[in-house]
Chain A
Amino acid sequence: DAKTTQPPSMDCAEGRAANLPCNHSTISGNEYVYWYRQIHSQGPQYIIHGLKNNETNEMASLIITEDRKSSTLILPHATLRDTAVYYCIVRVEAAGNKLTFGGGTRVLVKP
């Protein structure tokens, strides 16, 4: 499995953009990068995913470097409700779509 490395925590000011980095230097060519977030005591919520190209949806943007060894999740205008643990996951193509969760980044959005 390609492992991911994320900073354990970060703070962000409400209304500002939050940029969450993730390293996945051993990613293989057919593995996607997925981002989920988990608000305290709830199930994780899917945010976005990508393979090579940058992606954007109503929640966030995903920037993947050209060598695919790292990526950045961008929350364009963080709100207090974005306070959560954010997980960067590289999906294993075999073994039934298994998601391997690391420790994630604990994001605290402050007013």
Chain B
Amino acid sequence: DGGITQSPKYLFRKEGQNVTLSCEQNLNHDAMYWYRQDPGQGLRLIYYSQIVNDFQKGDIAEGYSVSREKKESFPLTVTSAQKNPTAFYLCASSVGTSGSSYNEQFFGPGTRLTVL
């Protein structure tokens, strides 16, 4: 089946530790995205990547880092510099990032990170 996978579904870490969230897609999409969602809120963009070896900051990039070494993978590292890391993290992908109307984003199931 084609889709986006995120693992694990639930993740617990101690304060001060870096943690990396996985995101893999087999849709052959060029673009990938990371969003953060807090309870009762909409999604906020952390980072996005339009192509391999390239990525840009979103609205709330501070305290996060990403890499895009492979088309299929876009891992997100939540560093100890992120003040409030506990949240629901969603990864998405799309065919591309042009103005085409056929560029809807497909989302993974999310990872719920809790920092103790």
Chain A contacts to B: CB under 8 angstroms:
30, 32, 34, 41-46, 49, 51, 87, 93, 95-104
When chains A and B are docked, how far (Å) is the Cα of A32 from the Cα of B101? 8
Q: Are A43 and B103 in contact (CB under 8 A)?
A: no
Give the B interface residue count (CB, 8 A): 32
Q: Are A102 and B42 in contact (CB under 8 A)?
A: yes
Give residues 64-114 of B contacting A (CB, 8 Å): 88, 90, 92, 94, 96-99, 101, 103-110, 112
Which listed residue, A32, A93, A97, A104, touches B105 by the CB 8 Å rule? A97
Closest to A30 in B: B99
Identify whether the interface residues of A are mostly helix, strand, loop, or mixed. loop
A-B contact number at CB 8 A: 61
Query: Residues of B contacting A95 with CB < 8 Å?
Result: 56
What is the 8 Å Cβ interface bit string for chain B, positions 46-63, against chain A (1 contact, 0 not)? 001010000010100000
Closest Cβ–Cβ distance, residue A50 to chain B (whole Å)? 8
Q: Are B97 and A49 in contact (CB under 8 A)?
A: no
Q: Are A101 and B31 in contact (CB under 8 A)?
A: no
Query: Residues of A contacting B42 with CB < 8 Å?
Result: 87, 101-104
Q: Are B31 and A96 in contact (CB under 8 A)?
A: yes
Chain A CB within 10 Å, residue with most, of B31, B98, B107, B112 = B107
Q: Are A97 and B110 in contact (CB under 8 A)?
A: no
User: What are 15 of the A-B contact pairs (CB < 8 Å)?
Assistant: A41-B110, A43-B92, A43-B107, A43-B108, A43-B109, A46-B105, A93-B99, A97-B31, A97-B97, A97-B105, A98-B58, A99-B33, A99-B105, A100-B45, A103-B40
